[in-house]
Structure 1
Amino acid sequence: MLPVLIKFVHSRWYWYLVVAAGLALESVALFYQYILGEPPCVLCIQARFWTLSGVLFGLFGLSSERPVAQGVAHVGLVAALAVLIDRSRISVLVERGQYEGQCGMDAGFPAWFALDAWWPQVFEVQTMCGYTPNFIFGLSMGEGLFYGAIMLLVVAVGALVLRAASGLRGVR
């Protein structure tokens, strides 16, 4: 089983799966916004940004056969997922009334990278933080994103470890 997993994390299919998972998350967010009428808060927008970052790291990994570039893509993916977990954790704390920080209407993008101005259909904050809509299995959207991002992080870290271990042994 281990050789099959090692072969998979070295394949383009792994990166296709990373990109597909990220696009699926973005699609769900946009479905909730435009079809179900649930406006995004600043934490939702930040989660969208880190999800998009994961997609871009996936595309980078997909576009290169070089082990160093794919290692960079893996580390970037793990970092993006770690921040996504943090944003979704704060979202859960806010909806439970356990967060004392501030959630405003500013997405927090710097002026030189103003995604909310360049692409407002996706990155414009439209409401204050407070609750996230019901999702699946009795979870709120924030909880679903939190648990889902944890699972994705476990997979990405596992893939990174397999890739590194197989690289040390010269197995591919």
Structure 2
Amino acid sequence: MLSFFKTLSMGRSGWLLLAFSALVLELVALYFQYGMQLQPCVMCVYERVALGGILFAGIIGAIAPSSWFFRFLGLIIGLGASVKGFLLALKHVDYQLNPAPWNQCAYLPEFPQTLPLDQWFPYLFKPIGSCSDIQWSFLGFSMAQWILVMFAFYSILLAIILISQVKAGKPKHREIFR
């Protein structure tokens, strides 16, 4: 199994699939915001940034997947972004399941002054809604819970691919019965 994931990480198609899946999820988020008129909160904006990190990791890995440097750089960026996204989504679910005056997110995002994404790209990163509001659900789970599952999947997948990198090259075929 590990050799499959290592082979997948050494090809460009796996990295492009990672980038494409993150891009599709970003576009779905924009559809929810502009098509369905759901207002994103601060945590939603932070989760979009983490998803953008996974997209960036897919692009980095696709540059030169046979190079160990670009593979590891893509894996580290992607795994870091997916774990951070998981932790953000976990906090977002906590805001929704335990609403209280002392358990609320900020109304304005706290981006670094050198990277004010909410000012550069307000159509993507400007929060309007409240974190404790559940505006959409599917199969009994809120959007934040689905995002938690998504980031958990990305984290597990990228961790397995990172572990597979220490696996030796192609498996040697034993010819026992020849």
Q: TM-score, normalised by structure 1?
A: 0.90
Q: Which amino acid aligns with 1:121?
A: Y
For 1:79, the equivalent position in structure 2 comes to 80
For 2:40, the equivalent position in structure 1 comes to 40
Q: Which amino acid aligns with 2:68?
A: P
Matched pairs, number: 169
* Secondary structure class of the residue paired with 2:138: coil
1:69-108 equivalences under 5 Å are: 69-97=70-98, 100-108=102-110
* Distance verdict in 2 for CA 1:165–1:121, change over 3 Å: same
* Distance verdict in 2 for CA 1:135–1:17, change over 3 Å: farther
Deviations 1:77-134 (A, max 9, x none): 0010001001111111111116744412211111211110010000001122212333
Structure 1 vs Structure 2: percent identity of aligned residues? 22
1:170, distance to aligned residue in structure 2 (A): 3.9
For 1:14, the equivalent position in structure 2 comes to 14
Distance 2:88 2:136 in 1: 18
Q: Does 1:137 align with 2:139?
A: yes
1:165, distance to aligned residue in structure 2 (A): 2.1
Contact 2:41 2:128 (C-alpha < 8 Å) held by counterparts: yes
Q: Which amino acid aligns with 1:29?
A: A
Contact 2:26 2:51 (C-alpha < 8 Å) held by counterparts: yes
Q: Does 1:126 align with 2:128?
A: yes
Distance 2:109 2:87 in 1: 16
Q: Say which structure is richer in helix.
A: 1
Deviations 1:13-65 (A, max 9, x none): 11011101211221121111001111110000000011101111111111124
For 1:61, the equivalent position in structure 2 comes to 61
Distance 1:115 1:16 in 2: 25
Q: Which amino acid aligns with 1:80?
A: A
1:67, distance to aligned residue in structure 2 (A): 0.8
Q: Which amino acid aligns with 1:22?
A: A
Distance 1:5 1:70 in 2: 12
Distance 1:112 1:136 in 2: 37
Q: Which amino acid aligns with 1:125?
A: P
Distance 2:59 2:9 in 1: 14
* Secondary structure class of the residue paired with 1:44: helix
State the superposition RMSD in angstroms. Answer: 1.8
